[in-house]
């Protein structure tokens, strides 16, 4: 099953738009993991197993693994664990890749063959040829940065390019010209809900990855109101720190599960309110 079909069936089966972000920071791990030599993997595996029933997707951010010796092996094993234990939950590797075609071929092999991710985040700044090695893998998802969640998103993404802001041009080009295989998605920050609504109008029911709730201040109700599709889906609403560090004690996995469940329920109340 391709990425978009897998995501759509997960939205339906789990009745959840929550994407659980996996950004493991050893400085925030519970004391019980201090002597654990495989702590990156163990922490994330416990979070995955505890939160899977509430998740429409998992999003490991590659930097949190690659920053540590052995971290990439831990990421590889973690994604293999998701595929084995929770095969219905797609994995979006947050790597924000983008380079000339020959290098992009290697990045596509890294994301899809080495790590086995269902989808990867990409930076569209270098243009179509930099995306082609990913787009050609029609069974995998290509999720392009469009309007990011950070304050600096305004620096370049909102610049006027011939009558419209750059982020809208990006969305229009990807929806009209890059999505032949139907495997594209976009990253829109929860911190810019009105821009999210404009993009939903441009791209139809394309899946949108929405980081920026919780610690970054994005508002869940506004995200759902502006970003959901007519059938009340279309979104992967990501929370990383808000779920991972719900407790700093030995009950971290149970607390993460409760945070994911609470977010799913909040999102679903917002979905019901707009019907
Ligand atoms: O525009 C963007 C794109 C990606 N991210 C990533 O999402 C998570 C957010 O973490 P929180 O702890 O829920 O704030 C993190 O991995 C970022 O690298 C983003 O925040 N904004």
| % the chain with pLDDT above 90 | 99
Is the alpha carbon torsion for 93, 135, 86, 17 positive or negative? positive
Q: Which segments of the chain have a pLDDT < 70?
A: none
**CA angle, residues 176, 179, 182, in degrees to nearest 5:** 130
- Of the residues 68, 81, 96, 225, only one is catalytic, namely 96
Is the alpha carbon torsion for 176, 177, 183, 189 positive or negative? negative
Provide the mean pLDDT of the chain. 98
Q: Which helix (DSSP H) or strand (DSSP E) does residue 256 occupy? A: helix 252-273
Is 241 near ligand 1, meaning CB less than 6 Å away? yes
Q: How large is the ipTM?
A: 0.99
Compute, in angstroms, the gap from residue 37 CA to the centroid of ligand 1.
27
Q: Which atom of ligand 1 is nearest to the CA of 239?
A: 13
Is 157 near ligand 1, meaning CB less than 6 Å away? no
Q: Which residue has the tokens 């994911």?
A: 260
φ, ψ of residue 272 to 5 degrees: the values are -65, -35
User: Domains plus CATH for the chain?
Assistant: 3-274 (3.20.20.70)
Question: For the segment 255-269, what is each residue's pLDDT rounded down to a tens digit?
Answer: 999 999 999 999 999
Is 215 near ligand 1, meaning CB less than 6 Å away? yes
**Ligand 1, atom 18, residue with closest C-alpha:** 61
Question: For the segment 106-164, what is each residue's pLDDT rounded down to a tens digit?
Answer: 999 999 999 999 999 999 999 999 999 999 999 999 999 999 999 999 999 999 999 99
């Amino acid at each position: 099953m391709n990425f978009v079909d897998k995501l759509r069936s997960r939205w339906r089966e789990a009745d959840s738009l929550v994407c659980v972000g996996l950004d493991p920071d050893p400085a925030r791990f519970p004391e019980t993991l201090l002597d654990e030599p495989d702590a990156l993997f163990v922490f994330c595996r416990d979070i995955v197993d505890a939160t899977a029933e509430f998740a429409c997707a998992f999003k490991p951010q590659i930097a949190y693994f690659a920053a540590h010796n052995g971290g990439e092996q831990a990421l590889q094993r973690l994604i293999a664990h998701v595929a084995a234990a929770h095969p219905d939950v797609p994995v979006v590797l947050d790597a924000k890749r983008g380079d000339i075609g020959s290098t992009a071929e290697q990045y596509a092999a890294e994301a899809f063959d080495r790590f086995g991710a269902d989808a990867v985040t990409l930076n569209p700044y270098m243009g179509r040829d930099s995306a082609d090695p990913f787009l050609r893998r029609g069974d995998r998802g290509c999720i392009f940065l469009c309007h990011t969640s950070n304050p600096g998103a305004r620096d370049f993404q909102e610049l006027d390019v011939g009558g419209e802001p750059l982020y809208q041009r990006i969305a229009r080009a990807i929806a009209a010209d890059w999505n032949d295989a139907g495997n594209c998605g976009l990253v829109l920050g929860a911190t810019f809900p009105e821009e999210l609504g404009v993009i939903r109008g441009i791209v139809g029911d394309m899946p949108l990855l929405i980081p920026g709730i919780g610690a970054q201040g994005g508002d869940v109700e506004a995200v759902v109101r502006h970003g959901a599709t007519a059938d009340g889906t279309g979104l992967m609403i990501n929370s990383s720190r808000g779920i991972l560090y719900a407790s700093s004690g030995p009950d971290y996995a149970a607390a993460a599960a409760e945070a994911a469940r609470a977010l799913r329920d909040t999102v679903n109340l917002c979905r019901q309110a707009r019907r």
